[in-house]
C-alpha cells in the first residue's frame, strides 16, 4: 500500500498558492500546513482550504511529527536557512529556483541531504512541461541533428525584484532548459546589462554560454519590455525548433530547414551554400500543468528513494552559472571561465531521466 506524503508549504505570496493548489489535488499527498509571516495571507488561504494548519512560526511547522516534506517558495535570500532547517529536521525538501544565493550554500544543502538520506529537489518547472519534454525527446531520437546553438528571449514588464537582478529571476528557466538540451555544463559565461529602475539591480541582461564543439547559447532577459515574450530557437544540423510558450496549442514548430556547405570546390565561382527548405510540422503535446507534473515527481522521488530530474546538483550548476554571470556583469561583460570541476560528474545523465519521464507519462 502506497504511503501518504504529508507536505507543508512555506511562502504564500506569488508562487506558493500554486504549490498549495497542486499538492492538494495529487493522490497520495496530504497538504497539512502552510507558513508565512503575513497573517492576512494565511487567513485568505485558510478561507479557501479549511483543513490546513497555518503557522507564522516556521519552527512550529517543522515540529509537526506527521510532516514528511517541505516546499519552499520564498525570496531567494531565505532559501538556504529555511531549507537547511527543514533538512536537519528530517524533512524532504523542495526549493523554488534558484536553489540558494550562492554555490557554497547549495553545496552545504546537498551535503546535508545526502547525510540525512533525504530528497532535495529544485523547482526548475519548465523541465516538466510537455513542450520541453517533447524537445528533449526529438533531440534524443537524432531528428534535429547536432545542436549548433540556442537563442532564448524571456521578456516582460516587471515584476521588479528587490534582492536579485533579472538574470537571477528569469534566466534560470532558460538555463535549465539549455543545460538539458545540450547535456553538458558550459565552458564559460559572459553577461552584460544595465539597471534602469533600481540602482544596482540590473533589469535588462544579455547572457552568452559557451559549450564544447563550438556550441553556444544566448539568453536575453528583461523586466522593461512592453510585450511579454517567451521564445526559444534551437538550431540543429538537420532541423530547427521554435518553442513559443505563449502559444495556447502550437507551442512547438519543427522546421525542416538547414544550410549546407559544399564539401569541396576548385574555384570561388563554384562555391555556393546549399539552402534546404522543407516542410514544418507541429508535434502533438498533451495538455497538462507542468507544476503538477513537477510536484508529482517530487512525491514519486520520496516514495521510491530516487534522485529527482532537477535535484540538488542541477540546482548547484544553475547557481554557479548565475554567479559567473554576476561576476561578468561587474567586469563589463568579460567572459568568466569555469574550472574543470565546476561541472557535475555526470551532466548528461539528466537527459535520459526526462525522456523516461515523458515516456512513462505517455504510457499512463
pLDDT score for 249:
87
pLDDT score for 342:
66
Beta strand extents in 47-183 (DSSP E only): 53-55, 69-72, 92-96, 120-123, 147-157
Tens-place pLDDT, residues 181-237: 999 999 999 999 999 999 999 999 999 999 999 999 999 999 999 999 999 999 999
> What fold characterizes domain 5-118?
Rossmann fold (3.40.50)
pLDDT score for 16:
97
* Measured distance CA(38)–CA(40) in Å, rounded: 6
The number of residues in the chain equals 364
pLDDT band at 361 (very low <50, low <70, confident <90, very high): very low
Tens-place pLDDT, residues 247-277: 988 999 999 976 666 665 555 554 556 666 7
C-alpha cell, 67: 510532516
Tens-place pLDDT, residues 166-197: 999 999 999 999 999 999 999 999 999 999 99
The domains of the chain are located at: 5-118, 127-289+316-363
DSSP classification of residue 78: G
According to the CATH classification, is domain 127-289+316-363 in 3.30.360.10?
yes
Q: Are 290 and 128 in contact (CB under 8 A)?
A: yes
- The model carries a pTM of 0.89
pLDDT band at 348 (very low <50, low <70, confident <90, very high): very low
Residues 6+ apart with CB under 8 A from 193: 165, 166, 167, 202, 203, 204, 205, 206, 329
pLDDT score for 3:
82
Element (H, E) at 192: strand 188-194
pLDDT band at 358 (very low <50, low <70, confident <90, very high): very low
107-127 mean pLDDT: 98
Computed from CA positions of residues 262, 264, 267, 268, in that sequence, does the dihedral angle turn out positive or negative?
positive
C-alpha cell, 42: 494565511
* Measured distance CA(85)–CA(80) in Å, rounded: 8
281-305 mean pLDDT: 95
pLDDT band at 364 (very low <50, low <70, confident <90, very high): very low
* Measured distance CA(87)–CA(120) in Å, rounded: 9
* Measured distance CA(182)–CA(347) in Å, rounded: 10
* Measured distance CA(96)–CA(172) in Å, rounded: 11
pLDDT score for 20:
98
Please report, rounded to a whole number, the percentage of residues in the chain having pLDDT higher than 70. 87
Amino acid at each position: 500500500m502506497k504511503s501518504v506524503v504529508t507536505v507543508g508549504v512555506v511562502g504564500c505570496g506569488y508562487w506558493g498558492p500554486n504549490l498549495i493548489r497542486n499538492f492538494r489535488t495529487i493522490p497520495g499527498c496530504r497538504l497539512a500546513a502552510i507558513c508565512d509571516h503575513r497573517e492576512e495571507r494565511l487567513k485568505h488561504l485558510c478561507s479557501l482550504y479549511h483543513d490546513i494548519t497555518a503557522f507564522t512560526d516556521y519552527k512550529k511547522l517543522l515540529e509537526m511529527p506527521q510532516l514528511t516534506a517541505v516546499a519552499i517558495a520564498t525570496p531567494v535570500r531565505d532559501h538556504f536557512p529555511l531549507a537547511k532547517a527543514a533538512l536537519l529536521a528530517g524533512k524532504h525538501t523542495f526549493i523554488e529556483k534558484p536553489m540558494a544565493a550562492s554555490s557554497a550554500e547549495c553545496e552545504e544543502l546537498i551535503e546535508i541531504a545526502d547525510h540525512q538520506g533525504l530528497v532535495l529537489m529544485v523547482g526548475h518547472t519548465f523541465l516538466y512541461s510537455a513542450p520541453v519534454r517533447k524537445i528533449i525527446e526529438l533531440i534524443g531520437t537524432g531528428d534535429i541533428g547536432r545542436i549548433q546553438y540556442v537563442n532564448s528571449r524571456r521578456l516582460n514588464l516587471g515584476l521588479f525584484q528587490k534582492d536579485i537582478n533579472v538574470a537571477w529571476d528569469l534566466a534560470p528557466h532558460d538555463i535549465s532548459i539549455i543545460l538539458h538540451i545540450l547535456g553538458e555544463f558550459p565552458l564559460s559565461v559572459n553577461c552584460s546589462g544595465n539597471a534602469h529602475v533600481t540602482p544596482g539591480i540590473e533589469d535588462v541582461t544579455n547572457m552568452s554560454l559557451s559549450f564544447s564543439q563550438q556550441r553556444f547559447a544566448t539568453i536575453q532577459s528583461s523586466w522593461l519590455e512592453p510585450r511579454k515574450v517567451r521564445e526559444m530557437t534551437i538550431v540543429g544540423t538537420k532541423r530547427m525548433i521554435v518553442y513559443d510558450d505563449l502559444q495556447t496549442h502550437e507551442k512547438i514548430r519543427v522546421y525542416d530547414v538547414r544550410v549546407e556547405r559544399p564539401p569541396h570546390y576548385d574555384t570561388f565561382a563554384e562555391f555556393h551554400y546549399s539552402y534546404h527548405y522543407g516542410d514544418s510540422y507541429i508535434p502533438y503535446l498533451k495538455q497538462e500543468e507542468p507544476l503538477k507534473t513537477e510536484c508529482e515527481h517530487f512525491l514519486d522521488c520520496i516514495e521510491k528513494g530516487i534522485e529527482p530530474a532537477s535535484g540538488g546538483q542541477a540546482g548547484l550548476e544553475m547557481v554557479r552559472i548565475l554567479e559567473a554571470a554576476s561576476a561578468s556583469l561587474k567586469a563589463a561583460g568579460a567572459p568568466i571561465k569555469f574550472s574543470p570541476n565546476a561541472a557535475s560528474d555526470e551532466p548528461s545523465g539528466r537527459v535520459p531521466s526526462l525522456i523516461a519521464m515523458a515516456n512513462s507519462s505517455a504510457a499512463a
